Amino acid sequence: MLPYQTIQEAELAFGRELTVAEKLWFNYSANKSDYYLYCHNVLFLFCIFSLVPLPYVFLELKRSKNVDKYKIQPKVRLSSSEMFRCYKEVMRMFILVVGPLQLVSYPSVKFIGIRTSLPLPSGWEIVLQLVVYFIIEDFGNYWIHRWLHCKWGYEKIHRVHHEYTAPFGFAAPYAHWAEILILGIPSFIAPALVPGHMITFWLWIALRQIEAIDTHSGYDFPWNPTKYIPFYGGAEYHDYHHYVGGQSQSNFASVFTYCDYIYGTDKGYRFLKKHLEQFKEKWRNETEQEVKLE
Ligand SMILES: [Zn+2]
Ligand SMILES: [Zn+2]
């Protein structure tokens, strides 16, 4: 809820004209409560969990040779019913855990100082805050995820997320209810330490989930824009963690690679990747020679 009745009143208070984005925000949010605005996250998450994995599902079902070469575990094929079963379970958790958690956590969001007021933050402010959120969350997530791989944590909680040794888009939020709650902590600590505008908070919740779906997609496309993000793990990186499964003591980080590097939990992955590259190079050379001889 904004403390101004009209745009003119807000402009008078700021001593300047509102930007186009600020006018849009004013028109949208002026008569809506902060709680109502915060609850938009429930709708955003529902749309993200339901729609973002769909292109990958389409690729999985289409089985085109041109795209198959980018599939990380090409031998694993999932049927539409298997993927739908996963989606149904994700939606069950959404209704029972994710949604209610969003609805009841409003007082804490208010407490940490997420604001809905004008002026809006600049684009740079939003980007920098999001970068900080990702770094903080990645660090917290790394240690919680590592703990979830201890015997008790894995058997009681994390085993559910590892049911899929070859992950796909819908499997990103597929987890035990306790894991959803525990991993929500670092997602919340980040904006609590660096509170910003509600728009930044929406973007944070949305981008973090889109990133998780991309990381679980099962496809490693060379043109993926995330390739330009320094120290970004990506689909292949996390796929290895699922491939190894419960015994995995490697690639715990959710977004970046530096935690695993610093704490030495990416050695197995780096060893395999190096040898795979050498094997692929050798195989490429041999194929080229065979073609020339023909
Ligand atoms: Zn794990
Ligand atoms: Zn995963």
Average pLDDT over residues 65-79: 88
- Do 126 and 20 fall into the same domain? no
Q: Which ligand is nearest the CA of 251, by number?
A: 1
Instruction: Look up the domain containing 25 and give its range.
Output: 1-31
**Span 27-64, pLDDT tens digits:** 999 889 999 999 999 999 999 999 999 999 999 998 88
How would residue 179 be classed by pLDDT, with cut points 50, 70 and 90? very high
Query: What is the Å distance from ligand 1's center to 217 Cα?
Result: 16
**Span 211-235, pLDDT tens digits:** 999 999 999 999 999 999 999 999 9
- Do 12 and 105 fall into the same domain? no
Query: What is the Å distance from ligand 1's center to 154 Cα?
Result: 8
With residue 189 as reference, give the H or E element that holds it: helix 177-193
Residue entry with tokens 């290895």: 240
Residues 6+ apart with CB under 8 A from 148: 154, 157, 158, 179, 182
Q: Which ligand is nearest the CA of 164, by number?
A: 2
**Residues in the chain, overall count:** 294
- Do 127 and 45 fall into the same domain? yes
With respect to residue 277, please indicate whether it lies within any of the assigned structural domains: no
Query: What is the Å distance from ligand 1's center to 82 Cα?
Result: 21
Q: Exposed/middle/buried for 219, CB within 10 Å: 0-12, 13-18, 19+?
A: buried
Query: What is the Å distance from ligand 2's center to 241 Cα?
Result: 7
Query: What is the Å distance from ligand 2's center to 161 Cα?
Result: 6
* 166, 244 contact by CB (below 8 A): no
How would residue 273 be classed by pLDDT, with cut points 50, 70 and 90? confident
Provide the pLDDT for residue 278. Answer: 74
The residue type of 139 is F
Long-range contacts of 34-38 (CB under 8 A, 24+ apart): 34/1, 34/110, 34/116, 34/198, 35/106, 37/116, 37/198, 38/102, 38/106, 38/109, 38/114, 38/198, 38/201
- Do 15 and 99 fall into the same domain? no
- Do 94 and 21 fall into the same domain? no
Question: What domain count does the chain have?
Answer: 2
For residue 244, how many other CB atoms are within 10 A of its CB? 17
Query: What is the Å distance from ligand 2's center to 171 Cα?
Result: 7
Query: What is the Å distance from ligand 1's center to 216 Cα?
Result: 12
Q: Is pLDDT above 60 for 256?
A: yes
Average pLDDT over residues 177-184: 95
With respect to residue 205, please indicate whether it lies within any of the assigned structural domains: yes
- Do 19 and 118 fall into the same domain? no
With respect to residue 272, please indicate whether it lies within any of the assigned structural domains: no
- Return the bridge partners of 115, or none: 197
Average pLDDT over residues 151-174: 95
With respect to residue 283, please indicate whether it lies within any of the assigned structural domains: no
Query: What is the Å distance from ligand 1's center to 203 Cα?
Result: 25
* 70, 221 contact by CB (below 8 A): yes
- Do 127 and 236 fall into the same domain? yes
**Span 240-249, pLDDT tens digits:** 999 988 777 8
**Alpha carbons 46 and 92: distance in angstroms, whole number:** 11
**Span 105-119, pLDDT tens digits:** 999 988 999 999 989
With respect to residue 289, please indicate whether it lies within any of the assigned structural domains: no
Average pLDDT for the chain: 91
Identify which has the larger pLDDT, 292 or 122: 122
Query: What is the Å distance from ligand 1's center to 165 Cα?
Result: 10
